Structure 1
């Protein structure tokens, strides 16, 4: 995994993916963003804050707002910011893993985003759901068991993902929330290797083994919930690394915030980082 000197890091820093496309190392996540505010946040991030990477997903149900924010920023920049300056990521949802649905799913996202292509398209999770309802989260049998699709393999879905590159609907493809064995399953048949694995990663969950594995296979990692502020059931607010006394002491000695120290840790370890808009 690449590492960087402090002096080389900025919003302009980009990492080279295994397909030679360049990905900004610091971006804006749109998960759990408040409806009605996403458009203005995305526009502000691009137009006035220097962000060039915007990370979204079909299941976030805010791609229309993300697209509106992107287009407002481009228009108001008066040509200073162009589409090719941006790096837009979105993701294939679980109920669209059947190969014949994969292209439709990306085209649906592109229509909402009002874009001709995305820069990176990820398989959001390594599981396929039956497409039995548009209530995306409630595909359940009884109370607890999701209705998983049968006879849909990761290899089948990946081959359909590769066709999206051929169609120039996305420049790069990758995965999200995959473990090593699941990535290996894809690598065995891949014509185009996954360029990115987006996973939860932060000081309390540093994913050391996965980082070594991805470095060996030339796969860039994107860290979501990089501040470890993905609050789980029964967790207190101070479970976040933002309240870690060691990190707080480092931040104090550097005259920085704890969030800045944690993000710097990600960047110096060659990770792409996408703090959520709600943080």
Structure 2
């Protein structure tokens, strides 16, 4: 919303100056921003004995997980073919506590493919140790997907659903990951003086918003007004366009670019 209002304001200024539009759609140059992977909340789920676990609070999928839906009956203490398998990270974390080269993600990927070879339909991870495992959803992960779905139970989720390791549970599990694409736009205008050279003048016009992209030190839900980052630069580009439109001699052409996406 803020980007749309700001871009339209800039366009209005350029229209008043009768600058030539140089975007791909009038003054606008549309582009996509790849924000990485996301778990689709409606189709990523874990249901244990008809009780639905809470995504992010009780469990989350790993970013390199295969997309699939599986059903089965399984117990933490007994891994059987054609059912989800469980893996406590406790032992491997303790064994590698002093190993600076240990890579938990690499271990999980190899473990997932290993148990898939033994006909596991999914891998459910948890950690009963007091060692921090640093397992998380890495939205920027671009590695090869595992052969089966892989999810991680938080300590709260494990305690809620699987504290009795001998109990057989009816499990429905689904992982659905996709790329999150944001639409954005630059604003481009041109002064054509039929010169041999063109000077490019630009500044970014997007700002932090509420800091949704984790790009600000302040984590509170408070608007980060543009202030000097970069309202001043945007204003300077517009005023330079105004001055150069009316200036002489006209030794150069001028391309004005107000671009978005800098604050991501």
| Common topology (TM > 0.5) | no
Which bracket does the TM-score occupy, shorter chain normalised?
under 0.3
Tell me the TM-score normalised to structure 2 length: 0.22
Tell me the TM-score normalised to structure 1 length: 0.21
The structure in which a higher percent of residues are strand is 2
Q: Which has the larger radius of gyration?
A: 2
